[in-house]
Every structure is written in structure tokens, then in C-alpha cells.
Amino acid sequence: MLIQRATLLGGGRADIRVGAQIDEVGQRLPAARGEDVLDAAGGTVVPGLYDHHVHLRSAASALGSLVLGPPAIATKDQLAQTLSQAVPGSDGWIRGIGYHESVAGDLDRAALDAMVPCVPVRVQHRSGALWIVNSAGLDLVGLPEHPDGRLRPTDRGWSEAIPRRERGLAELSRRLTAFGVTGVTDATPDLDADDMTELLMEHRCGEFRPRVRFLSPGKKILQDDRLDLDALTLWVGGHHTDGRPVAVHCVTAAQLVVTIAALRAAGSHPLDRIEHAAVVPEDNLADLADLGVTVVTQPNFVAERGDQYVADIPPAEHAQLWRLASLLKANVRVALSTDMPFGDPDPWAAMRAAVNRITPSGAILGANECVSAREALTMFLGWPEDPCRARGVAAGQPGDLCVLTEPPEALLADLDAAGVAATIIGGRVAYAAR
């Protein structure tokens, strides 16, 4: 197809001929016979957005779930009211996500029973690492005697007992392409080969349009009470020996320090990643730059959970939270992502958070970490396997593009998903605004 009258991010006007790859970028390119033509009318054309850390199945399920945490739900009364009015999904369950103990403490089966006595309910903690199930639900999954109904996703036997919902990857695909997203990396740690094959099939058959890539098997989640430097070093070394980079999930300073030590001991691979890097002590900025590791972080959590951090974390540590500008300044390789569904799936919201760092109550968290709109956008334009190297609009680049309604200056001032006019994947229109 041919995109006419595009404005490139650098300001120049061009026409773009695009198939599986970008074939040609030039002035006043004539349309070939039968070629589809899209008039960008002076709007900006950028490479398609790539979200470098998502969880696809959870995101599809989340579409039919209640959000049961802050800021939408902040008190026990709000939780009880929302749950008691909820309508069960096609699987017969009420499914809630995003729970945080600031709402009603450490939720358990008895507390849920008091709100919903008869319909099965399952509520996911916003960390993704815990489900709370009421008594009606525990009966259905064969655990009627369970002491508190607090279940880990990895506890065998219970989640398989829940019938699969209409999983909604087509709906998720529609929403992501409307954001201009043309590819995602699924960072779910326990995906098996069947899960991956199934997701790839859904991409190939057109059910899920954005390109899909996986971090498994070189992905590791750390827990503060089980940090083992020797074991982590061996694990990193094993993957590197097989020629594979690793991706280590670091949400605390302790996890980051151990990961840095393990990468130093085992040696680093140029495509190694650290996921989240939610807390980076000042001293570790130089280590991250030195190792050449790519940090894949989520500034959207500042906009979504910033007030919680301010309340829970000592003020002296606020400067270490969800860093961005200081990482770039230290020459750390950085890319952005949303961590959908644990974060808001809209990458434009994440970009705005990277630029203004405004919390839900209107405070600014980490004013020194604000980056420019152009930097924020560029950090969503990386290559799937090398997130911090940006793609461009030039011949030979992938045929994945995001066409916006506005010229660059207005686009960068707004950073708004409403400005997406069309999304092109492999030279085909995957989304067009009405």
C-alpha cells in the first residue's frame, strides 16, 4: 500500500510505500495500479508502537473483570458494593483484578463470603501472585476445606478446575491496534510451549493482529526472601552458554543488587534485560550502564499507583522509584512497556506519565525523572529483540506503522491515543479510525 502526504517525526514530508517491509520513502510517489492508498493528510507517521512487557492471556481475561483496587476502589464499602452488584461472566464466576490490601486488608474467603455468599468469586491481587476465592468458588475448584481461600496461581489443581472463558484475544487485538500497537512481548514467566504455540497461531490466523514474541524460557522472577546469588549466577551462565539472553524481574533494590552481581559474575549478553527496575539506588546506575543491560520499565505505575508509593515508601527512597531520566543520563539502555493488565494497556498514557510523572492525586513523583515527549515515544519504538534500538520510517525497516492525525509538534504535545488514525502491520491496515 501507499501512504501519501505523511509527516515524519523529524518534520519532513514523504510518501511511504509499505508491504512486509517499508519498500520506499520518497516525494510524490505515484500509486501503482490497484494499490491501496491512504492519505495521511499531513499527519505524523511513526514506526508501530511496540509494548515490550505484557501478559496477553491475563489481559484478555481482564477485559471481562471488575477492577477492585485503587484508585477506582479505595474502601471496604466500595469493594462490597461493587462485588454484591456484579454479574457473573460466561464461566459463572465473578472475577476481580487489581486488589490491594489498602482497600480491606488481607482479604480472605470469610471476608468475600460476607460480600457474596452464593456466587463463586475470585479476586486477583494486583501483583498477579495471589488469588482470593470465596467459599462458593472453593467448593467448585475442589478445595472446600481450604483455610483462608488465598491461592497462588502456581498452586496445582485449582485454576484448571475453572472453565475457560471466551478469552477475548480478538477484542484485545482491536484495543491494542487502536493504540497504534503493532507488536508485544509476552513476559509471562510460566508460559509453556503449548501456550506459546497457541498464541502464535492466533496471531497467524489474524485473531490477534500485533506481532507476538516471548521472553520465556530465559525469564526469572525473584523473591526477596529467596535471593540466592550462586543459583542466579548459574542460571544466567547456563542461558548465556546456550546463546540466549536473560530477562530478570527486579522490583526491589535487593533484587536489583543481586541481579547486577550475578550478571557481573556470569558475564552479560548484549540483549540481557532487567524487567521493571522499580527501585534503582543511585550507586547502581553506573553498574547498569556498565553491564549494557536493557532496562524495560513502566512509568505508568507512577500515574496509576504513585500515591500508594508515596504513602508506603520512606521519602528518602522516592528518588529511586521508577527512574527514567537518570537512567538515560547514566547511559543505561532503556525501553518502555505497560505490563498490561497489571498496568493500563494504553502506551500513550505511559508516555504521558514518563513526561509529567503526575500521581492520581496530582502530586509529582520524581520530578527529576521526567523525560521529553519525544524520548518517551521513541522508547516505545524499539525492535522486539533489542527494545532500546529504535526502528525508523525508512526503506528496509519493518512494514509496521502508526499513522497519526496530527503533525509532530501537536502529537508530542498531546501524546494521546485518540490521535491514532490508522495502524499498519506488515503492510496491511490492522486498524483505521472512523
Binding residues vs Zn ion (CB under 5 A): 187, 339
Look up residue 140 and give its three cell numbers: 467448585
Identity at 196, one-letter amino acid code? M
Identity at 361, one-letter amino acid code? S
Identity at 163, one-letter amino acid code? P
CB of 249 to Zn ion, least distance (A): 7
Cα gap 48→177, rounded to integer Å:
9
Identify which of residues 179 and 431 has a Cβ nearer to Zn ion in the complex.
179
CB of 293 to Zn ion, least distance (A): 17
Identify which of residues 55 and 211 has a Cβ nearer to Zn ion in the complex.
55
User: What DSSP state is assigned to residue 407?
Assistant: -
Identify which of residues 219 and 240 has a Cβ nearer to Zn ion in the complex.
219
User: What DSSP state is assigned to residue 126?
Assistant: T
- Work out whether the CA dihedral 156, 157, 158, 161 comes out positive or negative: positive
CB of 277 to Zn ion, least distance (A): 12
- The residue sitting closest to Zn ion, measured at its beta carbon, is 339
CB of 19 to Zn ion, least distance (A): 33
CB of 298 to Zn ion, least distance (A): 8
Cα gap 50→233, rounded to integer Å:
30
Q: Secondary structure of 307-319 in the HEC alphabet? A: HHHHHHCCHHHHH
Identify which of residues 133 and 187 has a Cβ nearer to Zn ion in the complex.
187
Q: Are 374 and 9 a contacting pair, CB within 8 Å?
A: yes
Identify which of residues 341 and 399 has a Cβ nearer to Zn ion in the complex.
341
Identify which of residues 304 and 406 has a Cβ nearer to Zn ion in the complex.
304
Cα gap 233→263, rounded to integer Å:
7
Q: Are strands 22-26 and 13-18 parallel, antiparallel or unpaired?
A: antiparallel
CB of 166 to Zn ion, least distance (A): 23
Is residue 201 helix, strand or coil? helix
Identify which of residues 350 and 411 has a Cβ nearer to Zn ion in the complex.
350
Cα gap 202→66, rounded to integer Å:
25
CB of 337 to Zn ion, least distance (A): 8
The residue with cell 502464535 is 200
